[in-house]
């Protein structure tokens, strides 16, 4: 058993290494070593913590979750942490330590402000699960590949049976127009690539060496470097995708660690202070809704761990009303046992008071529901709690199944693998 | 991605100059490197000694205005036009669309195409072409239409945006309605989107919002350029992942003019005020957007005199088509927000399905661009580019007046002289009546 | 930049032309302080180095060497042309631009048109071609002539048809001086009506000017400057009839009247010569003001006719200028356009006037001016930034207005009075190529022209319904 444990550790380390290489390839400057990931899980020292603060800050900034202007104004490390907390909050993440005494200077002493490197690791897991990695990747690809354009996605929600009334016809004409424009965009990308390729080919022909000027060759060289980086990036992503499963299983163990840790307790504070820290944009909302939409598909083995994290955080998120809205995606609500709320809700204040007097659980700040579109907070909370319970139950079942499946898979392998607790 | 601008005629060359001037000073303002780089790449190319040269081709059939624009640009010290990227003749088109379209256009086709081709080749990546002109005169409208046709032939897959200045209802050119009808009918087949500024509206903005006593064409052109700039400067789109959009014209037309029968875009911008009072004013996004939304639905092109009574029709009214005539139904809208705290702006009001025609969902109909960078010294600036019924009435007026004149066959001989027949007129009238009817059916 | 050539025919044409060149020089000298041969100058003047034998024109931008007028002077007697050649303007013309005879046309249109027209045809065409060759981009011919005499009306209209034949692309703007009712030339109605047919058929634009109107304006100005009402003293040197500052010192009898016509020509060409925020090219005049090919008679009115010495409120004075342009006593023919029907109207403004001033005044004047139903907004405007000498701003209004038919009807009456008696007919009929049918055709051409105006006039005041629009089948 000991032998295999070591080999497993090596493997996890490799997987984390793949992640680190990918993160570095997306252009992040300070990525912790795989070893530091491991140390973070078990509450590594201040140095490890610092590395993770930096990493989180970089990710949040690069993916424009927090604006560069805001970060430019902040100087000290405490400000930095405040920014990370705000950014995380905006992406829909919640953890106790984020609601430390405002100003962030109390992360050591304050009641809710304590934060271990494991907390940060979990936060990182959240960011990866919410697709920040893909955003970083897309951005980096766009930087490296100048020919890339962003075609507006066309997703025609056509009615199942098409009638040829004038409205449908116009709609159809609109969609055809959309596609035509998209086609043009793609075509121009293609043409551009062809041109670049042609330039490369021409430049590499020995006969034309003399004719090409210095300037164009430096440009070409730059392009080549970009292309190389692009290839590296995509390769790193591919590698990561192949082993991602293992990482999430490991992450799962981090969560377990975190839950069994006696220090952790249910939150006992109001989230309002947090609301003061961040300015909440729509971006967070969109992400949250997007996430909820993806929730049911979390059954896929690949997303196992991710689903767990999401579930839990989602539940809390809603409980604390940190977000302005939530939405239950159709597939989820179609489960017979889940309360069904087909509409999306937007938190609304009855009076124009500052945000901190907003929606407390059970306070019913929204007053009576005069409108069928409105839902009193207390009722919402009730439903959310139910949902959470269901989801937690489902998560546990899922996790068990995951482990069984993994165990089975591992059993088939020569080496036995056990995920360290 | 770069845009090549083609300035045509007196108006096109004057407005074009103002546009580049505003874009340049806005791009070079303050320390905003990414924004500035993106903007400069879009509109200028840099010479080896660092000078900014506008990616523009200047075309007119008489030299005075072009010379003026070139020398004024050079005097600014910040940017200039290319030494040989202009073409002028000695004699104008004499307010005659037929003279521009049938005589001057074909005669100078090769030169114009060559100038544009040179400018396009100077771009690493071409985002599209923008032709700027008025519809009233002969050169802008006639040569402009012909040039757009050539561009469409040479660059069939490029995005082509036409910026048109509509003349004052009265007093500029007597045959302006004929010229406008011929221009619009032809451009509707060629262009991807037609962005319109009405001189009358802009004139009112100058007098009522900017408090200018003696309004000159320079003032009018300045307002047009400001509004255009706020559309064309770099912005973050929904899918651009935090990078300034590389495909500005493509995304503009994809957001607004996918349907071939609806290509007319109108613009309103808020706030607009004299630069002297800018220092004493603060704006909040909620109030700016509230005003802008009401400007949209009541079809008011400026902050002053908004009719707050106009409301979107409720669901039941809609089916019974009880919508009041004053409500302006949109096909699609693009909202562009620039400046401080832009991420906190709440734009849900523009996604209201009641604002839009029934056959397009509000998700498809409404698009939002943002940029945290302030524009042209305005701390906050919201611009709405709208494909709506806003231009229906002015278009209908224009066609109506031209049709009345045509019924008496007045001035037709001036066009026949250069090869535009009554049949050609009838074709143009027919296609514009189609456009009018299409827009009329939006609600 | 385009160029124009002035063709002055007959005694009257040459006298008016002479005043035009004098005032044009004065205007350019006023604007052009550097003494450089600029674009503005090039539109009416050539710059010639006398040391060079070929007399080649110098390029724009160099120093002024020796200015030559882009003009062709034609007269069938020597008096007026000789006077010019001995006067202060003699340097501006050389023999290649001149064409004279000694015997005159005897106030006979047929002699001018037929006899001299055929005899001098080649020479005239030759001189016109020479003048055209000196131009880089010839845009317009300005023909100045009178309607009453023999040479001006006869040979003048012959030159017009030669211009159409030789230079079909070049715009022809004719300034025709119409005789007053008490004209001392007895055959002037014949000459005028015969010339009218030519003008209707071969001109692009005709600016009719009546002698009587010029007389009235001169009288009024003289009266005002002498009466010396307090607060409305007229600055003598800046009236429209003054030639002060020009080369010709002593004023001759008709100079005051001719100066008005010369100012008309200066203003009409100002936007083509100088910069402005709203250019109005010469070819835009016909395009905007001539809805039907034959109806190309444009009634001119000039304001201000004189400048008051005291300083009034500027905007009021500016608005007054716009109002005056539509008043009866500022028209250059004896007519009241306000009570007839406008087919179209151009406002050519000079000086420091903004587009908002223009708009304000158009909005103000629109309700009181009757426009034809299909052209309710028939306004064309031009803004030229350079004002005339001695003024801060000036306005030339060109109206295509049915009021012009009154002048034509009077002319027809006078013609018929003579023609009924067959008076003096034999003087015409014995000229080679002249037949009786010329008279009947001329009078029927004039009558149909009057009818066309009357037909349009009849629609005035009646509410014309909009033409039914095309409908789109659903």
Query: What was the pLDDT predicted at A288?
Result: 54
- Summarised one tens digit per residue, pLDDT across range C128-181 is 999 999 998 899 999 999 999 899 999 999 999 999 999 999 999 999 999 988
pLDDT value of position B243 = 79
- C236-259: average pLDDT: 70
CA–CA separation, B280 and B52 (whole Å): 33
Interchain contact, A281 vs B255, CB within 8 Å: no
Distance to chain B for A142, nearest Cα, Å: 8
CA A137 remoteness from chain centre: 12
What's the CA gap between A153 and B367, in Å, rounded?
12
Q: What is the pLDDT of residue C142?
A: 97
B341 touches chain A (CB under 8 A): yes
Give the model's pLDDT for residue C93: 93
Q: What is the pLDDT of residue C14?
A: 95
Say if strands C3-9 and C71-75 run parallel, antiparallel, or are unpaired.
Answer: parallel
B364 has a chain A CB within 8 A of its CB = yes
Domain residue ranges of chain A, discontinuous segments joined by +:
8-149+223-279, 280-421
Of the spans A21-25, B4-8, C95-99, C418-422, which averages the highest pLDDT? B4-8
Q: Measure C170 CA to nearest chain B CA, in Å.
A: 11
Chain C: residues touching B (Cβ < 8 Å): 1-2, 136-137, 139, 275, 277-279, 281, 283-284, 286-293, 344, 354-359, 362, 366, 373-381, 466-467, 469-472, 474
Q: How far is B283 from chain C (nearest CA, A)?
A: 30
Identify the pLDDT of residue A345: 53
Judging contacts by C-beta atoms under 8 Å, the chain B residues touching residue A280 are: 344
Contact state of B173 with C380 under an 8 Å Cβ cutoff = yes
Question: Could you read off the pLDDT of A176-230 as tens digits, one per residue?
Answer: 999 999 888 888 888 878 888 888 788 777 654 454 456 666 777 777 788 888 8
Tokens of B250: 């493509």
Who wins on pLDDT, C309 or A236? Answer: A236
User: Which segment, A118-132, A332-346, B183-197, C354-368, is predicted with the most confidence on average?
Assistant: B183-197
- Identify the pLDDT of residue B120: 94
* Residues facing residue C75 across a β-bridge: C100
pLDDT beyond 50 at A249: yes
Phi, psi of B191 (to 5 degrees): -90, 155
User: pLDDT over 70 for what percent of chain C?
Assistant: 89
Q: What is the pLDDT of residue A195?
A: 81
C139 vs B91: CB contact, 8 Å cut-off?
Answer: yes
Question: Is-contact C85 C405, C-beta < 8 A?
Answer: no
Phi then psi dihedrals of residue A330, to 5 deg = -50, -45
**Chain C environment of B198 (Cβ under 8 Å):** none
pTM surpassing 0.80?
Answer: no
**Which ranges of A110-165 does DSSP label H, i.e. alpha helix?**
117-129, 132-144
Per-residue pLDDT at B312: 83
Contact C470 B429 (CB under 8 A): yes
With a CB cutoff of 8 Å and minimum separation 6, the contacts of A84 are: A53, A56, A57, A60, A123
Q: Is the pLDDT reported for residue A296 higher than 60? A: no
pLDDT at A220: 73
Closest in B124, B158, B239 to A150, CB measured: B239
pLDDT on residue C248: 64
Residue B304's pLDDT is 82
Contact C77, C97 (CB under 8 A): no
Q: Does B218 touch chain C (CB under 8 A)?
A: yes
Residues of B in contact with A137 (CB under 8 A): none
B352 interaction partners in chain A (CB closer than 8 Å)? none
What mean pLDDT do residues C249-269 have? Answer: 84
The percentage of residues in chain C with a pLDDT greater than 90, rounded to a whole number, is 61
Using an 8 Å Cβ cutoff, are A65 and A87 in contact? Answer: yes
Query: Please, which pLDDT band fits residue A149 given cuts at 50, 70 and 90?
Result: low
Of A383-387, C45-49, C225-229, the least confident: C225-229
Query: What does the block give as tokens for B317?
Result: 């009214």
Mean pLDDT of A400-404: 81
B200 near C CB under 8 A: no
pLDDT number for residue A287: 57
Among the residue ranges B109-123, B268-282, C74-88, C457-471, the one predicted with the least confidence is C457-471
Q: What is the pLDDT along chain B (443 residues), one digit of tens a residue?
A: 899 999 999 999 999 999 999 999 999 988 788 899 999 999 999 998 889 999 999 999 988 889 999 999 999 999 999 999 999 998 888 999 999 999 999 999 999 999 999 999 998 888 899 999 999 988 999 999 999 999 999 999 899 999 999 998 887 899 999 999 999 999 999 999 999 999 999 999 999 999 998 888 899 999 999 999 999 999 998 777 777 888 899 999 999 999 999 999 999 999 999 988 888 888 899 999 999 999 999 998 888 888 888 888 765 555 444 445 578 999 999 999 999 888 888 999 999 999 999 899 888 899 999 999 999 989 999 999 999 999 999 999 999 999 999 999 999 999 999 999 999 999 999 999 999 999 998 87
Q: Which of A148, A167, A173 is the closest to B358 by Cβ?
A: A167
**Mean pLDDT over each residue of chain A, to the nearest integer:** 68
Provide mean pLDDT across the span C256-264. Answer: 91
Res A169: pLDDT = 86
Q: Is the dihedral of CA B199, B201, B203, B209 positive or negative?
A: negative
Contact B258 A149 (CB under 8 A): no
In this prediction, residue C109 has a pLDDT band, given cuts at 50, 70 and 90, of: very high
What is the mean pLDDT of the segment spanning A321-350? 44
pLDDT at C154: 95
Contact A282 B343 (CB under 8 A): yes
**Chain A: touching chains (3 or more CB pairs < 8 Å):** B
CATH architecture label of C3-47+57-405: 3-Layer(aba) Sandwich (3.40)
Q: Is the pLDDT of residue C278 over 90?
A: no
pLDDT at A279: 39
B246 and A150: CB-CB below 8 Å?
Answer: yes
> Per-domain residue ranges for chain C?
3-47+57-405, 406-457
Smallest CA–CA distance from C170 into chain B, residue:
B91
Of A333-337, C174-178, C409-413, the poorest mean pLDDT is in A333-337
Q: Do B217 and C278 touch (CB under 8 A)?
A: yes
Closest to B273 (Cα-Cα) out of B160, B118, B380:
B380
* Contacting B residues, span 337-356, partner chain C, CB-CB under 8 Å: none
Residues in chain C with CB shorter than 8 Å from the CB of B212 are 356
CATH number, domain C406-457: 1.10.287
The per-residue pLDDT for range C313-349, each reduced to its tens digit, is: 456 678 889 999 999 989 999 999 999 999 999 999 9
Residues of chain B with C-beta less than 8 angstroms from the C-beta of A63: 241-242
Q: Which two tokens stand for residue A303?
A: 């997303």
pLDDT at site B319: 46
HSE on the CB side for C255, CA within 13 Å? Answer: 17
Interface contact A150-B157, CB threshold 8 A: no
| B421 at interface of C, judged by CB pairs closer than 8 A | no
Q: Tokens for C103, please give them.
A: 């015997």
Residues from chain B contacting residue A178 (CB–CB below 8 Å):
254, 258
Query: What is the per-residue pLDDT for A267?
Result: 44
Task: Give the mean model confidence (pLDDT) for residues A355-376.
Answer: 48
B203 CB within 8 Å of a chain C CB: yes
């Amino acid at each position: 058993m000991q032998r295999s444990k070591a080999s497993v550790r090596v493997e996890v380390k490799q997987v984390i290494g793949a992640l680190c290489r990918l993160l570095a390839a997306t252009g992040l400057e300070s990525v912790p070593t795989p070893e530091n990931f491991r140390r973070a899980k078990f509450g590594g020292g201040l140095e490890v913590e610092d590395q993770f603060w930096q990493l989180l800050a970089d990710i949040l900034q690069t993916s424009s979750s927090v604006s560069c202007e805001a970060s430019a104004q902040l100087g000290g490390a405490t400000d930095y942490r405040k920014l990370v907390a705000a950014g995380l909050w905006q992406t829909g993440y919640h953890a106790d330590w984020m609601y430390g005494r405002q100003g962030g200077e109390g992360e050591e002493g304050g009641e809710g402000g304590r934060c271990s490197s494991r907390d940060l690791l979990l936060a990182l897991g959240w960011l990866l699960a919410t697709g920040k990695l893909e955003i970083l990747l897309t951005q980096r690809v766009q930087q490296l590949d100048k020919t890339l354009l962003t075609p507006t996605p066309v997703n025609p929600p056509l009615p199942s049976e098409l009638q040829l009334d004038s409205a449908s016809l116009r709609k159809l004409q609109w969609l055809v127009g959309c596609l035509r424009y998209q086609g043009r965009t793609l075509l121009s990308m293609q043409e551009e690539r062809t041109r670049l390729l042609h330039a490369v080919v021409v430049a590499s022909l020995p006969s034309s060496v003399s004719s090409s000027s210095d300037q164009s060759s430096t440009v070409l060289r730059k392009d080549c470097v970009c292309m190389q980086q692009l290839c590296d990036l995509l390769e790193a992503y591919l590698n990561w995708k192949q082993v991602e499963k293992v990482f999430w299983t490991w992450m799962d163990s981090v969560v377990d660690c975190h839950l069994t840790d006696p220090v952790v307790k249910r939150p006992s504070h109001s989230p309002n202070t947090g609301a003061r820290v961040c300015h909440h944009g729509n971006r967070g909302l969109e992400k949250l809704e997007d996430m909820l939409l993806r929730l049911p598909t979390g059954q896929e083995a690949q997303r196992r761990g991710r689903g767990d994290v999401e579930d839990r955080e989602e539940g809390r998120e809603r409980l604390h009303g940190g977000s302005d809205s939530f939405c239950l995606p159709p597939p989820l609500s179609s489960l017979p046992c889940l309360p069904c709320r087909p509409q999306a809700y937007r938190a609304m204040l009855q009076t124009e008071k500052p945000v901190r007097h907003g929606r407390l659980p059970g306070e019913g700040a929204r007053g009576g529901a005069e409108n069928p579109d409105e839902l009193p907070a207390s009722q919402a909370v009730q439903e959310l709690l139910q949902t959470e319970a269901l989801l937690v139950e489902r998560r546990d079942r899922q996790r068990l199944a995951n482990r069984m499946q993994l165990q089975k898979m591992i059993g088939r392998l020569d080496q036995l693998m056990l995920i360290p607790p | 991605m770069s845009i090549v601008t083609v300035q045509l005629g007196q108006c096109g060359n004057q407005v074009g100059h103002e546009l580049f001037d505003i874009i340049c000073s806005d791009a070079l303002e303050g320390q905003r490197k990414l924004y500035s780089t993106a903007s400069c790449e879009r509109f200028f190319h840099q010479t080896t000694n660092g000078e900014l040269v506008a990616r523009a081709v200047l075309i007119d059939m008489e030299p005075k205005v072009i010379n003026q624009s070139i020398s004024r640009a050079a005097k600014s010290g910040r940017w200039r036009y290319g030494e040989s990227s202009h073409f002028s003749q000695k004699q104008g088109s004499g307010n005659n669309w037929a003279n521009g379209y049938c005589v001057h256009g074909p005669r100078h086709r090769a030169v114009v195409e060559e100038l544009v081709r040179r400018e396009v080749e100077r771009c690493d990546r071409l985002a599209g072409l923008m032709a700027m002109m008025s519809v009233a005169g002969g050169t802008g409208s006639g040569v402009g239409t012909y040039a757009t046709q050539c561009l469409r032939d040479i660059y069939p897959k490029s995005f082509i945006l036409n910026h048109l200045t509509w003349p004052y209802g009265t007093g500029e050119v007597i045959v302006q309605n004929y010229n406008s009808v011929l221009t619009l009918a032809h451009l509707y087949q060629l262009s991807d989107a037609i962005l319109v500024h009405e001189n009358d509206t802009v004139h009112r903005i100058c007098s009522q919002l900017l408090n200018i006593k003696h309004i000159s064409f320079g003032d009018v052109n300045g307002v047009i350029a400001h509004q255009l700039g706020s559309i064309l400067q770099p912005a973050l789109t929904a899918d651009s992942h935090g990078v300034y959009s590389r495909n500005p014209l493509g995304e503009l037309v994809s957001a607004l003019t996918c349907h071939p029968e609806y290509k007319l875009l109108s613009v309103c911008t808020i706030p607009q005020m004299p630069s002297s009072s800018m220092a004493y004013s603060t704006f909040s996004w909620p109030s700016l957007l509230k005003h802008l939304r009401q400007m949209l639905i009541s079809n008011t092109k400026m902050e002053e005199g908004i009719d707050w009574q106009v409301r979107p029709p409720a669901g039941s009214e809609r089916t019974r088509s009880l919508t009041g005539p004053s409500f302006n139904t949109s096909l699609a809208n693009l909202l562009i927000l620039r400046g401080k705290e832009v991420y906190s702006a709440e734009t849900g009001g523009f996604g209201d399905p009641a604002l839009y025609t029934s056959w397009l969902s509000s998700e498809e109909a409404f698009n939002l661009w943002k940029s945290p960078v302030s524009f042209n010294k305005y701390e906050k600036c919201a611009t709405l580019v709208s494909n709506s019924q806003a231009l229906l009435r002015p278009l209908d007026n224009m066609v109506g007046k031209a049709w009345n004149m045509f019924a008496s066959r007045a001035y037709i001989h001036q066009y026949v002289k250069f090869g535009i027949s009554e049949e050609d007129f009838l074709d143009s009238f027919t296609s514009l009546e189609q456009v009018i009817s299409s827009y009329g059916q939006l609600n | 930049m385009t160029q124009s050539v002035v063709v002055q025919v007959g005694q009257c044409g040459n006298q008016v032309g002479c005043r035009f060149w004098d005032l044009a020089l004065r205007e350019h000298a006023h604007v052009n302080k550097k003494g450089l041969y600029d674009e503005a100058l090039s539109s009416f003047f050539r710059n010639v180095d006398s040391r060079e034998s070929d007399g080649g024109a110098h390029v724009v931008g160099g120093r002024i060497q020796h200015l030559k007028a882009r003009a062709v002077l034609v007269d069938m007697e020597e008096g007026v042309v000789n006077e010019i050649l001995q006067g202060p303007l003699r340097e501006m013309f050389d023999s290649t631009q001149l064409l004279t005879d000694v015997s005159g046309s005897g106030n006979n249109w047929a002699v001018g048109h037929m006899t001299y027209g055929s005899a001098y045809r080649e020479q005239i065409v030759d001189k016109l071609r020479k003048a055209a060759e000196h131009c880089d981009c010839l845009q317009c011919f300005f023909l100045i002539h009178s309607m009453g005499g023999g040479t001006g009306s006869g040979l003048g209209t012959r030159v017009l048809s030669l211009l159409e034949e030789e230079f079909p692309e070049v715009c022809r703007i004719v300034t025709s001086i119409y005789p007053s009712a008490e004209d001392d030339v007895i055959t002037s109605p014949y000459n005028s009506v015969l010339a009218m047919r030519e003008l209707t058929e071969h001109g692009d634009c005709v600016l009719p000017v009546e002698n009587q109107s010029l007389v009235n304006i001169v009288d009024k100005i003289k009266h005002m400057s002498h009466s010396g009402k307090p607060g409305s003293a007229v600055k003598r040197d800046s009236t429209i009839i003054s030639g002060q500052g020009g080369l010709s010192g002593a004023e001759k009898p008709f100079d005051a009247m001719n100066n008005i016509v010369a100012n008309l020509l200066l203003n009409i060409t100002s936007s083509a010569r100088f910069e402005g925020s709203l250019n109005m090219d010469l070819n835009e005049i016909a395009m905007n003001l001539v809805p039907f090919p034959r109806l190309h008679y444009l009634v001119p009115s000039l304001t201000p006719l004189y400048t008051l010495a005291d300083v009034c409120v500027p905007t009021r004075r500016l608005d007054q200028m716009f109002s005056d342009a539509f008043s009866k006593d500022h028209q250059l023919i004896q007519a009241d356009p306000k009570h007839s029907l406008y087919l179209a109207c151009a406002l050519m403004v000079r000086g420091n006037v903004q587009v908002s001033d223009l708009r304000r005044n158009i909005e103000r004047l629109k309700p009181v001016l009757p426009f034809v139903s299909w052209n309710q907004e028939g306004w064309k405007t031009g803004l030229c930034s350079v004002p005339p000498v001695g003024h801060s701003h000036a306005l030339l209004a060109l109206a295509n207005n049915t009021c012009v038919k009154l002048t034509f009807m009077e002319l027809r009456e006078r013609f018929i009075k003579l023609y009924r008696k067959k008076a003096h007919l034999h003087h015409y009929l014995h000229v080679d190529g002249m037949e009786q049918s010329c008279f009947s055709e001329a009078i029927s051409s004039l009558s149909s022209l009057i009818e066309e105006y009357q037909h349009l006039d009849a629609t005035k005041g009646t509410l014309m319904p909009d033409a039914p629009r095309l409908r789109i089948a659903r």
